Amino acid sequence: MPIQTQAASNLYRALSIFADFPDLIATESTRHGGISPAPFDSLNLGINTADTPENVAENRQRFFDAIGAGTHSFASAYQVHGTKVLQATEAGRFDGYDALITNRPGLLIGVTVADCVPILIYDHAHQAVAAIHAGWRGTVGEIVTKTLAMMQQRFGTLAGSCYAYVGTCIDECSFEVGPEVAEQFASPYKQTKSSIGKDCIDLKGANAACLIDFGIPLNQIAVSPFSTVLNNDTYFSYRAENGQTGRMLAVIGLKT
> Is the Cβ–Cβ distance between 141 and 82 less than 8 Å?
yes
- pTM here is 0.96
Domains annotated for the chain, with CATH where assigned, are: 12-171+204-254 (3.60.140.10)
Distance between alpha carbon 20 and the CA centroid of its chain, in Å?
20
119 contact partners, CB below 8 Å, separation of at least 6 = 130, 131, 132, 134, 144, 164, 165, 166, 167, 207, 211, 250
Over the chain (256 residues), what is each successive 10-residue block's mean pLDDT? 63 96 98 97 96 97 96 96 98 97 98 98 98 98 98 98 98 94 95 80 98 98 98 98 97 96
Please tell me the predicted confidence (pLDDT) of residue 198. Answer: 86
| Whole-angstrom distance, CA of residue 199 vs CA of residue 153 | 37
Tell me the pLDDT tens digit for each residue of 174-204.
999 999 999 999 999 999 876 667 899 999 9
